[in-house]
Amino acid sequence: RSSDLSSGINAEWPLRPGFEQDMATIRTRKFFTNRILNRRQMVVDVIHPGKPNMSKNDLKEKLATMYRTTADVIMPFGFKTDFGGGRSTGFALIYDNLDALKKVEPSFRLKRFLAKEDKKGGRRQRKELKNRKKKVKGKKKTEMGSCKRKKKKVPTATLR
């Protein structure tokens, strides 16, 4: 099969063992090594007959094995399924390391693929903080980051 494609790598595997209708083929073309951005970039063709499309996580794992890297430095995006199904085409970026990925990739794509951080505080606390920040200007907004309230001093009575 690699003879029909002059440049690129093919991978063919059943997604679930024993289910031949789940067979999928990945082909890469227009491969380019971008040394300035520390990444390899390519167009990815996925042939998936009998399956509506492939998940990007499966795609990341298979590209990682094809290009001998880890799945966390791969960014697949822009996949369009051809009319009638069975074939999708998109783009993939494989970074040299995670630092290069975080430095170059836009924030919306990082949010899509990297692990999500838990929000601190409850919904009501975040809303109150937002409204308190509206009332101050400049550096005080960043200093106001904590959701702590000022405690009132309780006068103590002295006994004689």
pLDDT digits (tens, 9 = 90+) for 94-107: 999 999 999 999 98
| DSSP designation for 56 | H
- In total, the chain counts a number of residues equal to 160
Contact between 92 and 44 under an 8 Å Cβ cutoff? The reply is yes
Is the per-residue pLDDT at 146 higher than 80?
A: no
Which residue blocks in 88-122 are alpha helix, DSSP H?
A: 98-104, 107-113
CA distance readout (Å), 17 to 20, 22, 47, 121: 8, 9, 18, 45
**Bigger pLDDT: 45 vs 114:** 45
Choose the weakest-confidence range: 40-44, 75-79, 154-158.
Answer: 154-158
Residue range 12-67, pLDDT digits in tens: 555 555 545 557 889 999 999 999 999 999 999 999 888 888 888 889 999 999 99
Residue environment code for 91-124, b if the CB has 16+ CB neighbours within 10 A, otherwise e: ebbbbeeeeebeebbeeeeeeebeeeeeeeeeee
Q: What pLDDT shows up at residue 152?
A: 61
Taking the C-alpha atoms of residue 2 and residue 97, their distance in angstroms, rounded to an integer, is: 28
Write out the two tokens for 24.
């999928």
